[in-house]
Structures are given as structure tokens and as C-alpha cells.
Amino acid sequence: MDYYSLYTLLLEAYGLQGWWPLTGRAGSGAYNEKGYHPGVYHLPESGNEQFEIALGAVLTQNCSWHNVRICLERLSAAGLVNGEIIAQMDETELADYIRSSGYYKQKSRKLRILSRFLVEGSWLQGCAGNKPSRAELLNLWGIGEESADSILLYAYGVPCPVVDASARRILARFVDEPSLSDETIRRGMEFAALKGEAEGTPPVSFLNEFHALLVKHGKAVCTKRNPRCPECCLLSCCAYDKQKV
Ligand code: SF4
């Protein structure tokens, strides 16, 4: 079974996920109370919304979204979801706002570096503005592939796959290939996105949902320890040795 078929099974099981959540829009229009927007692939209109996504992509490194949301709400309440402000802010002061995300001193530094880059490059002009390149983002201290790809996909509408821990775990188990490389996963996702496009789903929407669905499945069923195979929507086609469960 290919990634496109896997995607359709996950979509049938969980429905549209509505990523990336924006706290500033929570409860308004198509956005639910947590800022998700299922079925609406609304790219950020303003630089501050792009910046909120970039903030979230760094804060979520080794951290649950629940704790990231606490940080984002604190920053938002203080009027700090703004690249120009964070770029100038004292690192210790910023660290205090993001304690709940863990590794907050490191993350404060990462956010200052990222903010300066985004402001100095005039990259916070809304989705119709210019986009930084993947190589430029990866060149910044503290920005790895998952963070860079999340920023490009969700803040800038660049159709790039996001390979995270859930994707690695589920897709490696799915083909019973523990050493599946990120590059193989990325290529498989890109190929699936082309198939999705032929079926009428734009690549950005497809890759958005695929990433979100894999995260959902990784939390709900294909967990790090003790995956719940008997109740999995992929059970009949997954190659994972169920004797291990
Ligand atoms: S059958 Fe088990 S190992 Fe395979 S995807 Fe489902 S939960 Fe994960």
C-alpha cells in the first residue's frame, strides 16, 4: 500500500484536522475555540500570524502542544506575538513567558535568532510576501528540518513534507523497516501529494493534513510504547509484527 492510500484511511478515521492552529483567531469565523480550522486551508494573512506559526514551530520542539498553547496565550495576552518586539526583547524576560515549553532558556535564544532573521529579511509580510528558503532557515541555530518545514508549509504555503517523530514511527512500522530514512519518507509524501493533486487536493492542503493526521494517529493509536494495533484503521495493511505488541 502506498502513502496516498494510507493517508485516505487516516482521513476516513479521523477527519480533517484544521492545522496550524492560530490562537489569535480562536473562536472566530471558521476557527474553533482552540484556533483549529478543519477544511479551511487559510494561510496566514498577516506577518504576526506567520510569526505565531514560527513561534509555535520552535516552542513545540520536545514539548506537547498543550504546553505550547499556554506559552502562546501568555505571549499573545502581553502583545508579544510580534517578530519585531521579540527580536529586541531581553532573552531572560522572554524565557519567563515560555517556561511551560521546557528548555526555555535555549528556546528563548532560538526565538530571538529566528525573529531577527525574519524581521531583517522582511519575511513577515503575510503569505503574499516573500518566503525565506529552506536552506536559510536550516542555517539558523536551533532550527532543524522539522521546524523549518513546518514554518515553510504552514506560515508560507510552501508544499514541503514535514517529517516528525510520529511520521517516522508510524511509517517505519507500517513497512516493518526500522531504519526508514527521512529522505525516503519525504519522497513518499511528495509522491502521495502528487497523487492527491491528481485527485483534486492541492499539495499544500494534502501535506498539511497528512502531517496532522500522522500526529493524531501517533498520539491516539500508534503510540511510542504499546501501539493499539487491534483498534487501528491501518491494521489490515500494516506490516508491523503484531507479536511485538
Ligand atoms: S497496526 Fe499497529 S503498528 Fe501498524 S500503524 Fe496501526 S497501531 Fe501502528
Write down the pLDDT at residue 87. 96
CA distances from 174 to 31, 168, 197 (A): 33, 10, 23
The CA 220 to ligand 1 mean position distance, Å, reads 11
Task: Pick the atom of ligand 1 nearest to 245's CA.
Answer: 2
pLDDT value of position 178? 87
Nearest to 166 by CA among 99, 233, 223, 109: 223
DSSP 19: P
User: What angle separates helix 182-198 from helix 165-174, to the nearest 10 degrees?
Assistant: 80
- Helix then strand then coil, in percent of the chain rounded to 5, is 60, 0, 40
Closest atom, ligand 1, to C-alpha of 228:
7
Which residue in 192, 233, 227 sits closest to 209, CA to CA? 192
| Closest C-alpha to ligand 1, atom 2 | 229
pLDDT of residue 12: 98
Please give all residues whose beta carbon lies within 6 A of any atom in ligand 1, as ranges: 170, 173-174, 221-222, 227-229, 232, 234-235, 238, 240
pLDDT in tens, the chain (245 residues): 799 999 999 999 999 999 999 988 999 988 999 999 999 887 898 999 999 999 999 999 999 999 999 999 999 999 999 999 999 999 999 999 999 999 999 999 999 999 999 999 999 998 888 899 999 999 999 999 999 999 999 999 999 999 999 999 999 999 988 889 999 999 999 999 999 999 999 999 999 999 999 999 999 999 999 999 999 999 999 998 766 66
CA-closest candidate to residue 209, choices 162, 156, 170: 162
Residue-level pLDDT at 129: 81
In this predicted structure, what is the pLDDT of residue 144?
97
The predicted pLDDT at position 42 comes to: 78
- Rounded Cα distance between 200 and 172, Å, is 28
| Whole-number pLDDT of residue 17 | 96
pLDDT of residue 244: 64
In this prediction, residue 126 carries a pLDDT of 87
Q: What is the DSSP letter of 21?
A: P
> Measuring CA to CA, how many Å separate 237 from each of 113, 229, 240?
44, 11, 9
* H helices, E strands: number in the chain: 12, 0
Cα 167 to Cα 170: distance, rounded to the nearest angstrom: 5
Cell numbers linked to 43: 494561510
Res 243: pLDDT: 67
User: What pLDDT shows up at residue 141?
Assistant: 97
Can you list the positions of beta strands (E) in 176-232? none
